[in-house]
Amino acid sequence: MSFLTFKHVSKQYVDGKNNQGYAVRNANFSINKGELVVFVGPSGCGKSTFLRMLAGLEEITSGEIILEEQSLNDVDVKMRDIAMVFQDYALYPHMSVEENLSFGLKNQRKPKQTIMQKVDMACSLLDLSDFRKRMPKQLSGGQRQRVALGRAIVKEPKVFLLDEPLSNLDAKLRVQTRKMIADLHNRLKATMIYVTHDQTEAMTLADKIVVMNKGIIQQIDTPERIYLYPSNLFVAGFIGSPPMNLLRVKIKNSQSFKLSEFNVQVPDDYQVLLQPYVGKEVILGIRPEYIQLSELTTGESGIKPNLIEFLGSENLIYFMLEEGELIVKKNLSSKMSPSTNYGLKIKRENMHFFDPISGEHLKRRSSN
Amino acid sequence: MYLRKNKNQLSRPARLLNRFMLIILFISMIIPFMNVLAIAFSTSKNSMVPGITLFPKEFSVEGFVLIWKTQNLWLPFLNSLFVTTVGTFFQVLLSALVGYILTKKDLPFRNLILSFVLITMMIPSELTLVSIYSLNRDLGLLNTYSGLIVNGLMSGFGIILMKNYFEAIPQSLFEAAQIDYASEFKIFFKIYLPMSIPGLVTVGFVSFVSKWNSLLIPVTIITDQNKFTLPVVLRSLIFNSTANSGTTFIAPNAIMAGIVISVLPLIIAYIIAQRFLVSGMNLGSIKG
């Protein structure tokens, strides 16, 4: 039995008289104890609604949430044994750091000694010992975020919920705090659900990623599998920076297709799958790092890039093909020349094909 | 190097007009007050000289001594202080409670209740005097301190101001407190009230001033001289009434001394509340 299960959970909003919409639609998945699960997706995709439903801050329209074999549907917020870290920290501004940390424990009427021990533990764990008597307004963004984490830690909850906890921090602090959260997860072995729209956070922190779009779960998998085997066009386009190249190509026969002026061989494992698409279009997906470039001499035919972005350790080369824009990533610590003609070689084993109508990956489509 | 003129700065004529208007406003407020002070600190003979006096010709506190001795101001002063303090405390508490409840989006008939609150602010209190009298008579509140406290205890202004104040507090704090096992009452008393001190002080100050100066309700429901409040006694002094003093004539310096005494608690209340008042009033005006 899983630690936490969502069974056919939906959340419907009624906006005005006739407008109805789903924030979350028929979500089914489970989480094991001690896992760090990251919900990722664009703004408004329903990922925060998941946290709020689990915390009891939003009622679910249908379905059931089960934590340790107990249905949470009718359990009050206070009885759920869950801690939440809010995007805006939600620290009590009129209370000191110590009071913020101990507020929940005092409400639980824990003995004073226990409260002090837990606050001491959280302060030393999060390096807050020097700020115990300070008010939130006297702290920096990073320190405030640590207090918010500390407030969750002292409660020793069954599940930690983190709602975009790093989004208000600057880039450097975000990296530091991200590492700290990963470290905390390893040390506490706690079950954590983390919501973000930042795929770097998702990829670096998660044991399991849940990709969402328009209230529907698109894919649940490990970060590696999400990156390497996206289940549909949305996941392919959302995960990865720069994103996967998605090009509309026409299948000549099940062995090859044309990409711009290049003839590309279809990988062996797709030949059967592409049979129904002969003479039709499919979406070819290829990550920018799986395209090899070769510099051509002036006589040879090739294509010229229309933009090169130099990022220090790598170059992003943009080509405009008939099928769409193609981005190639090349690890090189010097800027490449935009006037050179390049030849392209796509790694066949890293090609993906998607149905242009449903957007589904052809391999997944055939397995369903 | 020239300093560039701020775009928001007024032009010179507009600035001059601005200052001129401010000076007029200042004079129109300060002169009556100085006149009251000057007469209060004059001798009884000098206070009877016609015209506006801004400084006492001969400094004297005989008006204060006289008014205190002859009118026995202690009792109305203490009556006013008691009724105003207790009334203000409960008005602030009730305004905060009602304001907090009205922030709840799922409150049944919320908009209807809000409309009722607003209507109470639009009806002139003079119109309700007859019904106030008969209601107080039926409830046995005539000639009681309870009557003086209960009447005007709920204030539409206070409720709306507190509601706006509470709505400015981020919802995430309420949710964080819920997750921190706090009950609704605990959230109200431990989170919302401490975070709304400027609003509470503003409501408290406005309530204190209006209750301290209130004449209509005491005149309507109080006939027992022992329960008279300061404004009632001052009114009878100013109109040279003999109803409660038994004397036929009271010199202007004594009357003005009575007014000065009655203003003192308001000045003390203002000094205490002053640092919160600007932010409290501003929030009400922006959000309202």
Do the domain assignments include residue B214? yes
Distance of alpha carbon B203 from alpha carbon B188, whole angstroms: 17
pLDDT digits (tens, 9 = 90+) for B62-81: 888 888 888 778 899 999 99
pLDDT at B80: 95
B175 → chain A, closest CA residue: A57
**CA dist A355 to A270, A368, B202, Å?**
13, 14, 65
Based on the domain organization, do B121 and B29 belong to the same domain?
A: no
Based on the domain organization, do B38 and B70 belong to the same domain?
A: no
Q: Which two tokens stand for residue B111?
A: 């908009």
pLDDT at B211: 94
Do the domain assignments include residue B2? no
pLDDT digits (tens, 9 = 90+) for B21-72: 999 999 999 999 899 999 999 988 888 888 888 888 888 898 888 888 887 7
Using a CB-CB cut-off of 8 Å, the residues of chain B touching A92 are: 173, 176-177, 191
Distance between B197 CA and the closest CA of chain A, angstroms: 11
Could you tell me which of A39, A149, A169 has the C-alpha nearest to residue A90?
A: A149
A338 phi/psi in degrees, rounded to 5: -80, -10
pLDDT band, residue B286 (cuts 50/70/90): very low
Distance between B173 CA and the closest CA of chain A, angstroms: 5
Beta strands in chain A (DSSP E): 4-15, 19-31, 36-40, 62-67, 70-71, 82-85, 159-163, 191-196, 208-213, 216-221, 245-253, 256-259, 262-265, 281-286, 291-295, 307-310, 314-321, 324-331, 342-346, 352-354
Q: Alpha-carbon Rg of chain A, whole angstroms?
A: 25
Q: Tell me which residue in B172, B183, B186 faces A86 most closely, judged by beta carbons.
A: B172
Contact flag A77-B172 (C-beta cutoff 8 Å): no
Based on the domain organization, do B47 and B68 belong to the same domain?
A: no
pLDDT at A16: 62
Contact flag B176-A84 (C-beta cutoff 8 Å): yes
Segment B235-258 mean pLDDT? 71
Q: Cis omega (within 30 of 0) on the bond before A242?
A: yes
Res. A366: pLDDT tops 70: no
pLDDT band, residue A253 (cuts 50/70/90): confident
**CA dist A368 to A224, A362, B46, B163, B257, Å?**
22, 10, 106, 55, 94
Do the domain assignments include residue B83? yes
Q: Tell me which residue in B178, B181, B191 faces A92 most closely, judged by beta carbons.
A: B191
Using a CB-CB cut-off of 8 Å, the residues of chain B touching A151 are: 176, 180
Q: pLDDT exceeding 70 applies to what percent of chain B? A: 90
Do residues A317 and A342 make contact, with C-beta atoms less than 8 angstroms apart?
A: yes
pLDDT at B288: 32
Distance of alpha carbon B159 from alpha carbon B207, whole angstroms: 12
DSSP B69-104: HHHTTHHHHHHHHHHHHHHHHHHHHHHHHHHHHHT-
Do residues A82 and A159 make contact, with C-beta atoms less than 8 angstroms apart?
A: yes
pLDDT band, residue A298 (cuts 50/70/90): low
The verdict on A87 touching B (C-beta cutoff 8 Å) is yes
**Domain A4-237 in CATH 3.40.50.300:** yes
Do residues A209 and A202 make contact, with C-beta atoms less than 8 angstroms apart?
A: yes
Res. B168: pLDDT tops 60: yes
Looking at the DSSP bridge assignments, the partners of residue A20 are A14
Q: Which two tokens stand for residue A21?
A: 């919409």
Using a CB-CB cut-off of 8 Å, the residues of chain B touching A53 are: none
Distance between A32 CA and the closest CA of chain B, angstroms: 23
Q: Which two tokens stand for residue B64?
A: 């204060």
- CATH code of A242-367, in short, is 2.40.50.100
Based on the domain organization, do B28 and B76 belong to the same domain?
A: no
Segment A212-227 mean pLDDT? 94
CATH, residue B82: 1.10.3720.10
Could you tell me which of A78, A66, A5 has the C-alpha nearest to residue A35?
A: A5
Based on the domain organization, do B20 and B73 belong to the same domain?
A: no
Degrees (nearest 5) of the Cα angle B1, B2, B5?
155
pLDDT digits (tens, 9 = 90+) for B76-134: 999 999 999 999 999 999 999 999 999 998 899 999 999 999 998 898 888 888 999 99
pLDDT at B1: 46
pLDDT band, residue A151 (cuts 50/70/90): very high
Looking at the DSSP bridge assignments, the partners of residue A331 are A314
Please, what's the b/e burial string for A305-323 (b: 16 or more CB within 10 A of its CB; e: otherwise)? Answer: beebeeeeeebbbbbebeb
| Cα distance from N-terminal residue to C-terminal residue, chain A | 25
Based on the domain organization, do B43 and B148 belong to the same domain?
A: no
Distance of alpha carbon A229 from alpha carbon B204, whole angstroms: 65
Distance of alpha carbon A234 from alpha carbon A41, whole angstroms: 10
Do the domain assignments include residue B6? no
Segment A197-201 mean pLDDT? 90
Q: Are strands A208-213 and A216-221 parallel, antiparallel or unpaired?
A: antiparallel
Residue with tokens 């639009």: B122
Could you tell me which of A87, A56, A360, A34 has the C-alpha nearest to residue A197?
A: A87
Other CB atoms within 10 Å distance of the CB of residue B35: 16
Do the domain assignments include residue B3? no
Select the residue from B179, B183, B184 to test the A interface by mutation, using most A Cβ atoms within 10 A: B179
DSSP element (H, E) containing A325: strand A324-331
Q: Residue length, chain A?
A: 368
Based on the domain organization, do B96 and B77 belong to the same domain?
A: yes
Q: Tell me which residue in B173, B177, B179 faces A55 most closely, judged by beta carbons.
A: B179
Segment B199-228 mean pLDDT? 92
Distance between B91 CA and the closest CA of chain A, angstroms: 24
pLDDT at B123: 87
Based on the domain organization, do B119 and B212 belong to the same domain?
A: yes
Contact flag B180-A82 (C-beta cutoff 8 Å): no
Do residues B258 and B73 make contact, with C-beta atoms less than 8 angstroms apart?
A: yes
User: Residue B27's domain spans which residues?
Assistant: 12-60
Distance of alpha carbon B238 from alpha carbon B231, whole angstroms: 10
Segment A67-91 mean pLDDT? 92
Total domains in the fold of chain B: 2
